[in-house]
Amino acid sequence: MVTSSNKTKQNYGPDPVSVRATDQYRAEYVHAFVQKWDSLIDWDARIESEGSFFIDKLRERGTRQVLDVATGTGFHSVRLLEAGFEVVSADGSAEMLARAFSNARSRGHLLRTVQADWRWLNRDVHQKFDAIICLGNSFTHLFSENDRRKALAEFYAALRHNGILVLDQRNYDALLDHGFSSKHIYYYCGNDVSVKPVHVDDGLARFEYRFSDNDVYHLNMFPLRNSYTTRLMREVGFQRIETFGDFQETRRENDPDFFVHIAEKA
């Protein structure tokens, strides 16, 4: 819930690395951070780096209707609308959805938005989809295995019988296995922000987002191992899972920064 007191400041209390709760995401995306999110993920540069990877993958499977469960500020929802897909845009954060709606509006689109937490997705979304996308390293916000299983089961249930789930994640294996160093300072597509891990253990990756005006925000995330995510998907019922590294057709030899999993329901 966003209140006037948490509009500008994140509040992790006296011991930020002890904050490991799924519900934290709403408090993390405070108004001021959401306003800055689009400079973090400069839309034009992101289009350039992703290319048509997601659009191609969806078209290959004859997808028409897509549910974006982690809409954020609307980047993928708008791209898919512009590519001709029917899109419903969901997110658990009202702040994010408001920003997505106005971003889409300024590009001449009316987003169909639903505020929904993944753990109870089908309570708020009453339609079945050909594809669900959960992108931008969003699944990492879930802090208990129970919540991860619940969310995946809700995604599974919201898909048509031959539907697909497209879910990406940061390559946490590299971070967990080799520790973090300056090599892990990520410069997002937006030029005016640097992103680096400030704490990593088996249960938490805490990242710092430093903007050029010296505004600093953090996100506490669960470091998902690649094989763990795909195991959970299988256990929930997904039949075939293909994993890509950094939007490439095959996994790159050297460690990619991100993995994209495409999981088939049937």
The residue ranges that bind ligand SAM (CB under 6 A) are 22, 25, 29, 41, 70, 72, 75, 91-93, 96, 117-118, 135-138, 141
Question: Which is closer to ligand SAM, CB of 29 or CB of 129?
Answer: 29
- Which residue's structure tokens are 């931008």? 136
Question: Please, what is the minimum distance in Å from the beta carbon of residue 156 to ligand SAM?
Answer: 15
Taking CB atoms, the residue at the shortest distance from ligand SAM is: 136
Question: Which is closer to ligand SAM, CB of 58 or CB of 96?
Answer: 96
Question: Please, what is the minimum distance in Å from the beta carbon of residue 40 to ligand SAM?
Answer: 8
Kind of pairing between the strands at 186-187 and 159-170: unpaired
For residue 77, the SS3 value is helix
Question: Which is closer to ligand SAM, CB of 176 or CB of 189?
Answer: 189
Question: Please, what is the minimum distance in Å from the beta carbon of residue 21 to ligand SAM?
Answer: 11
Instruction: From 53, 88, 82, select the one nearest 258 (Cα to Cα).
Output: 53
Q: Which helix (H) or strand (E) holds 108?
A: none
Distance CA 222, CA 139 (A): 9
Question: Which is closer to ligand SAM, CB of 138 or CB of 220?
Answer: 138
Distance CA 258, CA 244 (A): 8
The two structure tokens encoding residue 241: 């899972």
Ordered DSSP codes for 10-57: ----S-GGG---TTHHHHHS-HHHHHHHHHHT-HHHHHHHHTTHHHHH
Question: Please, what is the minimum distance in Å from the beta carbon of residue 266 to ligand SAM?
Answer: 25
Cβ atoms of 80 and 109 within 8 Å: the answer is no
Question: Which is closer to ligand SAM, CB of 45 or CB of 266?
Answer: 45
Question: Please, what is the minimum distance in Å from the beta carbon of residue 135 to ligand SAM?
Answer: 5
Cβ atoms of 192 and 38 within 8 Å: the answer is no
Question: Please, what is the minimum distance in Å from the beta carbon of residue 82 to ligand SAM?
Answer: 16
Question: Which is closer to ligand SAM, CB of 78 or CB of 200?
Answer: 78
Q: What is the CA radius of gyration of the chain?
A: 17
